[in-house]
A and B are shown apart, each in its own frame.
Chain A
Amino acid sequence: MFRKTLMAAAAVLAFGSTANAATEITWWHAMDGRLGEVVDQITADFNASQDEYHLVAVNKGGYEDTMTAGIAAFRAKNQPNIIQIFDAGAATIINAKGAVKPVQDIMEADGGSFDINDYIPGVRYFYADSEGKMIGLPFNSSTPLLYFNKDALAKAGVEAPKTWQDFEDIAPKLKDAGYEGLAQSHSPWIFFENFMSRHNLQMATANNGYDSTDVKILYNNDALKDHWKHVKAWKDAGYYGYYGRAWGANQDAFLQQKSAMWIGSSGSFGGLKKSAQFEFGTSTLPYWKGVGDAPKSTFIGGAALFAFSGHSAEQDAGVAEFFQFLTKPETQYYWHKETGYVPITNAAYELAKKDGYYKESPDAEVGIQQLSEEGGEWTKGYRLGFYVQIREVIYREVDKMMNGEATIDEAFATIEEEGNGLLKRFHDTYN
């Protein structure tokens, strides 16, 4: 990361003198590894496509580091033009009054066109305000998917489950074939947030938090508790593997063929393809038949780009220009293909279809299909303050449920109490 910062700084120095006519805009992001390379490529393509603006992309570490760096920079009046903020941090940046300019305003001010209906349904309103105006531009968007080991399922003579009822039928057979049925890498995201969306259940008061910061969390409900009672029973029966809160440890159980199935992100696809020593397939996130009105579409995960306020009109025009470039079908298709994140516009999805990409690798389409499933009242997203810490509480209580230190009811009571405490603190801080 440090090397990248240095390289970016060197690039600024090198280009700064020669291209002094170009307006410079900075973009802080949280993409490293392969994702960082793709971001650098997109940046280079944008800079090559025009000579009015010069974009400098800087990796600031992980999602949390990037957000904290952005807050510190904004307080010091030294903020970048564009910052990448992840789903759980969206409330923090959107509720900070005057910190960001809505994407829609910026793009329209430049004389550019903006129509929220160009975006695929699943991502459209997640980073929008309660009136449906887009504040942050969805950037890397993923959704939880079920990956299954084809050999393992064939050995047990079963099909990938569509519902949790199906899972309960096949888990004993998988166990007899020598596999743990399932592992999963992100309990708060997959088994809390997306559980609510998949079953069209309300996650928080005040319209899932979009209408106000004065909200209460609604996790302590029978449908979700019932799900976790099943998960605990599966674990005790050897149908479900729990390898702690670390993403990688649970994914490894799948890669080393201990677990026959694994729920991860649609963005995990590329990485799995590289490291899996077996044939695997992709399916949609299972749901409980008869709970809520499942199946509904899932939430997007990942992050969005926000334009910080306090910059000159000239620089904001550059931001708009870049956002136009980024949402072009070609750019989106490239991003989708290289990273496994879903394309965010309908046009990009059409382009990928027309290009025959999904014939070549049908698994790449499952994520976007799931996001395009019928939506419900509670599937457009959530906006909750200090949600990063609420996720910490969830992680902690899941540990306790799994090791038996707390019963399901106790754990959910704690999540509700501490979650509401954090939401109240956020409300008092930001209002």
Chain B
Amino acid sequence: MSSQFVWFRNFKDVLSSGSWLQSAIFTAVFSFLVAFLSIAISLFLAVRADEVVRGAKSYKTLLMWGYAIAPPVAGLLGTMLFNPLMGDLYILLNSLGFEFNHIENANDATFVVTLIAVWKQVSVNFIFFLSGLQGIPKSVTEAATLDCKSAERRFWTITFPLLAPTTFFLMVINLTYAFFETFGIIDVSTKGSPGGSTATLVYKVYVDGFLGADLGGSSAQSVLLMIMVSVLTVFQFRFIERKVHY
């Protein structure tokens, strides 16, 4: 409640703490996994759904369904599916012989939060990719079909480059999602355990500041986080957007 001016000591403490570093590394890995997987899976689903002729509407509606679910709810669903005493997925994975235990194993816990976060985000990406696909002129795809027999090759040379603006937009959005919005999922499912291995930087800011009442340390972490996200955004726009053709 009282405060002292300590120059940069809070920053020094944060940067020299092992748990912050662990959290920063986890955040980087987690964000990459979530962004990459959710974009890849939703692109695959969107391309497939776009080709469907009969019952296309039902497929599309079902795939968009998840968009309406809030992150904490997704987290709760995941927690129940992975409950060690009665979770269906937990029991399934173990009966397949995986020795799966996200309570104790850091990699397994990372798998659980990544799975929930990706699942939650796929439907959002799906909507954007689907509208992107529908924005590609029929004439272009038809002309390509005459020139090239391989559907896979047509996808990589025609469709994917034309979707590049959408993909870039989704990459920015998904990284932000993985950085900030997955908070609800982590708070409900693992709370950063085991051993702090699934605590993102945002979650750590919350734990130290709002639960631990260490306002100085938590504020220093927020500032560092802001700098990191700014640098990342500048990087994205300067280096990756150049490769995007609108």
Contact = CB atoms under 8 A, between A and B. Distances in A.
Contacts of B217: 425
A395 B9 CA distance: 26
A68 B212 CA distance: 8
B160 interface: no
B84 interface: yes
A243 to B, nearest CB: 6
B214 A96 contact: no
Contacts of B2: 96-97, 429-430
Given A71-B213, A421-B17, A428-B9, 17 more contacts: A65-B210, A68-B209, A71-B1, A97-B2, A243-B84, A243-B85, A244-B103, A244-B194, A245-B191, A249-B85, A256-B86, A388-B213, A403-B104, A403-B194, A418-B19, A421-B13, A428-B6
Interface of A: 64-65, 67-68, 71, 74-75, 89, 92-93, 96-97, 99, 242-246, 249, 252-253, 256, 258, 386, 388-389, 392, 395-397, 399-400, 402-403, 405, 418, 421-422, 425, 428-430
Given A242-B104, A244-B103, A68 B196 contact: no
A400 B194 contact: yes
A68 B193 contact: no
B195 A403 contact: yes
A87 to B, nearest CB: 14
A10 B86 CA distance: 42
Contacts of B103: 242-244, 249
A397 B213 CA distance: 21
Contacts of B143: none
Contacts of A421: 13, 17
Contacts of B212: 64, 386, 388-389, 392
A96 B195 contact: no
Interface core residue of B210, B212, B216 (most chain A CB under 10 Å): B212
A68 B213 contact: yes
B104 A399 contact: yes
Nearest to B4: A429
Given A96-B1, A258-B85, A429 B216 contact: yes
Contacts of A258: 85
A83 to B, nearest CB: 12
Interface in B33-56: none
Contact of B213 (A92, A244, A252): A92
Contact of A396 (B13, B83, B84, B195): B195
A93 B104 CA distance: 35
B13 A388 contact: no
